[in-house]
Amino acid sequence: MNTKGLSTEKVIVAVVIIMAFLGIGLYAQTQLLTKTNDQLPVIVCKNSVIHFVTQREIWRKVGQELEYTDLKCFTINREIKAYKDEEIKREVANALIECWDMYGQSQNPPLEVFNTEDRNFCAICHRLEFKEHKQVQGFAQFLITQNMPGKKVTYYEYLSGIQFDENMVGQYENARTRIREDLYRRRMNRQHFMAREPEGLQEEQSQFTLALGYASQG
Q: How far is CA 163 from the centre of its chain?
A: 21
* pLDDT 10s digits, 181-201: 333 333 333 333 333 333 332
Q: Is the dihedral of CA 111, 115, 120, 125 positive or negative?
A: negative
Confidence label for 90 from pLDDT (cuts 50, 70 and 90): very high
Q: What is the mean pLDDT of residues 57-78?
A: 79
Global confidence as pTM: 0.63
Residue 91, beta-bridge partner list: none
| Per-residue confidence (pLDDT) for residue 103, from 0 to 100 | 79
* pLDDT 10s digits, 10-33: 556 565 566 665 665 565 555 555
Confidence label for 138 from pLDDT (cuts 50, 70 and 90): confident
Hey, is 135 helix, strand or coil? coil
**Mean of the per-residue pLDDT values for the chain?**
67
